[in-house]
Structure 1
Amino acid sequence: DFDDKEALVMIPRFAYPCPNDASQVDHFTFVLTDLDSMFRFGYCRHATGHQTCLCIVSWLPWCEIFYKLLDLLAEITNRSENNEVNTLLHATYTQEVPLPSMPVTIVADQDMFSFSAPDPNALPKIPGSRNLTEYYNAVDPNNMMIIFASMLHERRIYMTSKKLSRLTACIHAAEALLYPMHWQHLYIPVLPANLIEYVSAPMPYVIGVHSNLVENLKLKRVDVADAVIVDLDANTVSTEYDDLGDLPEDVSSYLKRNLKTDVIKNSIMKSGDSISMAFLNALVRLIGGYSEALKFRPGEPITFDPEAFVRSRPAQATQDFLEGMLTLQIFQQFICGRLEILNTGGGFKDIFEVQATRFAGKLNSQSRYKEWLKSVKKSGKKSWNGLKVKLTDNE
C-alpha cells in the first residue's frame, strides 16, 4: 500500500495542475523531489475532456514504457464495467526491474504488456524518445542552443505551453541534453496553480508553466524580470543574457555545424541521435578533460585538481569558461559522482567517456602536428638562412 501521506496530497495537484479542457488524450510527466534530491516521476494520462486521469508514480525514468502501460490500462477500463485493472497493476508492480535492453512480457488474465528495458547510458534518439521528438518539433536548433547555454549558466528558466504533453516533454528533453551532468536545482516540469509563486524563487530553476497560468503571474505581479522565458508554442526564447555568445567559439561553431536541419533530418533516417550527440560532444569539448585533473596517490583517495582541469583545454577563451564552470553545481555534482565511483573501486565506460577519449586523441594529434610543423619551420628557416649566407659568400 502506498502510504506516503505528503505525496498523496501532492499527486492530485500535479495531476491536475491547472484548468484545461483537453480535446484529445494527453500524456505528461510531473516530478516529485525528495529530501535527497531524488526524483519520483508521475506519469499521467488525461482522457479526452480532462475528466479523468490515470497516474503511475515510479522512481524509474521510463517515459515511453509507462505511457504505453497507461494506454493499456485505459483500454481495460473502457471495456470493463468492473474496472479490472488491479491484476495487471499487481503483476507489473511485482515484476523485478529488468537489466538494460532485456525484453519483458507481463501477462495478467487476458491482457499482456511487453517492453524492453531502456539502457540508462544510451542517448535519446528520434523518434524513439518521445521527449526529444517533442522538443525537436517545438524548438528550433538555435533556440535549443540558447536554452542549453542558459542551463550551463544555471539561470532561472521557465517554459510555457498550452499542451501539458509538450511542456513536460520539452523540459525533460532539455535536461537530458546536459548529460553526463544533471540539473541540481529546483526542477518542476509542470507547476500546479497553487505553487505559481515558485516562479519568483531567487535560486536557479527549470519550471514548466501551463499557458492558462501565465496570466496569474501578471495578476500576482510575480517577479520574473531576469528569467529566461521559453514559449514552446511560439518557438521563442526571451532572455537578457547572451549565454550562447559566452560559449567558446569552437563549441558554439561545432553545435551550429552539427545541428543544421539537413544533418538532423539525415540522422532521423539512420541513427536518430544527432541532436543528443551534438550536445554531448559540445560538453566533451568543454569538460572532457576532467580526467586529466584527477590526482592518484598511493594509499590516498583520488582527488580533483581544478587548476589542472582548466589547463586541460589550450584555448584561453575555453579556460576562462571552465573557470566559471568550476562554480556550477551541475559540474560539481558530476565530479563528485565520478570520484565516488572511482574511490569505491568502480569504473565507467559510458558514451561520454568514449567520446572524451576519442577527442583527447584528436587534441594530442593536433598538438603533435603543431610541434612537428614548428620544428619544420625552424629547420626550414635555418636552411634558408644558411642558403642566404652561401649566396652572399659566393657573391
Structure 2
Amino acid sequence: MAGTGLANFFRNSLRRKSARRDVNRDAPPDESKSESARRPGERSHFCYSPGQFFFEYLVVVSLKKKSGGDYEPKIIYQFPKRENLLRGQKEEEERLLQAIPLFCFPDGNHWAPLTEYTSETFSFVLTNVDGSRKIGYCRRLLPVGRGPRFPEVFCIISCLGCFGLFSKILDEVEKRRQISMAVIYPFMQGLRESPFPAPGKTVTIKSFIPDSGTELIELTRPLDSWLEHVEFQALLQHLSPENILWLFASAVLERRIIFVAEELSVLSQCIHAVAALLYPFSWAHTYIPVVPECLIDTVCCPTPFMVGVQKRCLEQVLDQPMEEVGDERDILPAKLQTEMLTSLKMHNSNNNIQTSEQVNTHVSNTFVQFFVKTVGHYTSHLKWNKSGQGSFQEKAFCKAITSRSCRKFVKRFVRTQMFSLFIQEVERSRITQEGKLPHLLPLPC
C-alpha cells in the first residue's frame, strides 16, 4: 500500500471511531452493536476469552534502505504464515501487515547504523473497521553481531490486553534471539498451542534451548483481569497527582488529549494507564498510544482523541489547530477531587513498600469509587418491559443527586459517548453492570 493509501486507511478508521452521534435510547437493541464489538457487560475493546490463542502473529520488522538513501521498515519474518484465506480475510490481513511496520518504527526513517542500543518495550493499538482492537506488543533491540547495524523489532499481534504477560513473553523472545532466530520458532509454536488462561490461572510452556535443555516457562494472568493491561506505576512516576486528575477530567468528558514523551515505552504505558482510569467505562474514540511521525496530521482531527507522540514531533503537533479549554481543575466535584488527591498522595508516601499489583489496585479503586459516588445509583433508574428491554430514566437519575457540584458534573458526563454506550449495554439485558461498580451507595453524593 502506497503512503497515500496507508494514510487513507488510517483516516477512514479514525473517522469511524471518532464520529459522534446522538444516542437514541429507543433504538433497536442491536443498532449500535458494531460501535464497540463487545459482549453485553464487557467493558473493554480487547477480548479476554479463556482458551483462545495467545496471539495472531509474530513478525520481525527491520529497516531496509530505499533508493533515495532513507530507510523504511519492512517485515522480514512472519509466524504463522496463513493460507487458504477468504478474499475479505486476505484483504484484512494485508492491511494489517502493511500497517505494522509503520508502528514498529514510528520515529521516522532517518536512521544510522548503531553499535549500542538499549532494548525498549512499547505497544500500539490498531482499530478494525468493526470497532474491535488489536494490540502490537513490541520489543526493539539490536541484533547480535559486530560493527554498526540497525535495530529490529519483534512484534506480537494479539487481541488480548495483558501487557505484563506479553512483556514476559518478549523477554523470552529476546533471550532466544541472542542464541538464534531458529530457537524462537518452537517457543512461539508452543505458546500458540497453549490456551490463554483464565484470570488468576497459570499456563506452563515447555521450550528447549540448546546447551540449556528444556525450560518450563510459567505465564500467569492477574486475578483482577481489568488491571492486566495497565501499569499505573509509570503514570505516577511521570505525572503529579494533580496532573493525573486534570488528565482524568479531560478524558472523562471526552476531549482531545495528546501525550508527549521522548521514549516510546513511556508514551504507551502512560496513555494506556489514563485510558484505564475510566474503568468501568471505556474510551470510544480515536486511540493511538504511539502515532507514527508521518501520520500526525491525519490523527489530529477535530473530534475526541487520545494519542501519543514523541517529543521530537512537538513542534509539528503545536502547529495543528487546537483550542485550550483550561477548566480541568473545575470539572470534577471539589470534595471528591480532594478525596482522590489524598488517596493518590497516600500512594506516593507508601511507594517503596507496594508491589506493582498493589499499586494498580490502589489507583484503580480510587477512580472506581469516584464513579460509584457519582453514577453508582444508575441501576435504581432502569425500567424493564416484559420482553426484558431496559429503559434508562436519565432525568430522575440526575435529579436524585443531592450535591450541586456532583449533579453539575453528572449532567455533563451522561452526554458522553462512553456513558451512553455503557447504558446501552445495560438496557439490552437484565443482567446489569452491578458487578462493575462494586459497593453501590444507597444515596448518591
Q: Please report the TM-score for the alignment, with normalisation by the length of structure 2.
A: 0.70
2:330 aligned with 1:259:
no
Distance in 2 (alpha carbons) for counterparts of 1:258 and 1:329: 28
Q: Distance in 1 between matches of 2:437 and 2:253?
A: 23
Maintained 8 Å contact 2:379/2:432: no
Amino acid at match of 1:310: C
State which of 304, 325, 340 in structure 2 corresponds to 1:204.
304
In the TM superposition, what whole-angstrom CA distance separates every residue of 1:241-260 from its partner, at most 9, and x where no partner exists? Answer: 21231222222122122222
Alignment of 1:310-321 (within 5 A): 310-321=398-409
Three-state SS of the structure 1 residue aligned to 2:438 is helix
Contact persistence 2:139–2:153 (CA under 8 A): yes
Asked whether the 8 Å contact 1:88–1:108 carries over to 2, the reply is yes
Distance change in 2, residues 1:50/1:117 (3 Å): farther
Alignment deviations for residues 243-294 of structure 1 (CA, whole Å, 9 cap, x no partner): 231222222122122222x344337635333222111111112211111111
Give distance in 2, aligned partners of 1:180 and 1:70. Answer: 29
Query: Is the contact between residue 379 and residue 434 of structure 2 (CA under 8 Å) also seen in structure 1?
Result: no
Take 2:97 and 2:252, find their aligned partners in 1: how far apart are those partners? 34
State the 1:196 CA deviation: 1.1
Q: How does 1:289-300 map to 2 (within 5 A)?
A: 289-300=377-388
**Is 1:138–2:238 an aligned residue pair?**
yes
**Structure 1 letter corresponding to 2:219:** F
Q: How many Å separate the matches in 2 of 1:307 and 1:349?
A: 20
2:98 matches 1:9: yes
Instruction: Please state how far the C-alpha of 1:44 moved relative to its aligned partner.
Output: 0.2
For residues 265 and 117 of structure 1, the distance between their equivalents in structure 2, rounded to whole angstroms, comes to 28
Residue-by-residue CA offset, 1:145-171 (whole Å, 9 max, x unaligned): 000000112111000101000000000
Matches within 5 A, 1:226-265: 226=323, 239-260=324-345, 262-265=346-349
RMSD between superposed Cα atoms in Å: 2.4
> Secondary structure of 2:317's match?
helix
Corresponding position: 1:327 with 2:426? no
Judged with a 3 Å threshold, the aligned counterparts in structure 2 of structure 1 residues 44 and 123 are, in CA distance, closer, same or farther, namely closer
Does residue 29 (structure 1) correspond to residue 129 (structure 2)? The answer is no
Partner of residue 112, structure 1: 216
* Structure-1 residue corresponding to 2:253: 153
Deviations 1:88-116 (A, max 9, x none): 11111121222111111011333432111
**What is the deviation of 1:296?**
2.7
Q: Distance in 1 between matches of 2:387 and 2:126?
A: 41
Verify the 8 A CA contact 2:206 2:217 in the aligned structure 1: yes
Secondary structure, aligned partner of 2:206:
strand
1:202–1:291: structure 2 CA closer, same or farther, 3 Å change rule? same
Name the structure where helix makes up a greater proportion of residues.
1
Secondary structure at 1:108 match in 2: strand
1:222 is matched with 320
| Structure 2: unaligned runs, 5 residues or longer | 1-80, 83-89, 143-148, 209-213
Check 1:31–1:252 CA distance in 2 against 1; reply closer, same or farther (3 A cut).
Answer: same
Letter in 2 for 1:11: I
| Bigger RCO of structures 1 and 2 (CA < 8 A, at least 6 apart) | 2
Match of 2:395 among 292, 307, 310: 307
Shift of 1:121: 4.4
Number of the residue aligned with 1:184: 284
- CA distance in structure 2 between the partners assigned to 1:50 and 1:156 by the alignment: 35
Question: Is 2:413–2:419's contact at 8 Å kept on the other side of the alignment?
Answer: yes
Kindly indicate whether residue 195 of structure 2 is the aligned counterpart of residue 77 of structure 1: no
Would you say 1:98 and 2:183 are equivalent positions? Answer: no
Whole-angstrom CA distance in 2 between matches of 1:16 and 1:50: 12
CA 1:265–1:198: 2 relative to 1, 3 Å? farther
Percent of aligned pairs sharing the same letter: 26
SS in 2 for 1:85: helix
Q: Deviations over 1:29-55 (max 9, x none)?
A: 100001122110000001158611110
Kept in 2, the 8 Å contact 1:290–1:312? The answer is: no
SS in 2 for 1:145: helix
Q: Could you say which structure has the larger radius of gyration? A: 1
Is 1:339 equivalent to 2:433 in the alignment? no
> Per-residue deviation at 1:67?
1.1
Moved more, 104-113 or 178-187: 104-113
User: Between Structure 1 and Structure 2, how many residues are aligned?
Assistant: 336
State the distance in 2 between where 1:182 and 1:254 align.
23
SS for the counterpart of 2:204 is strand
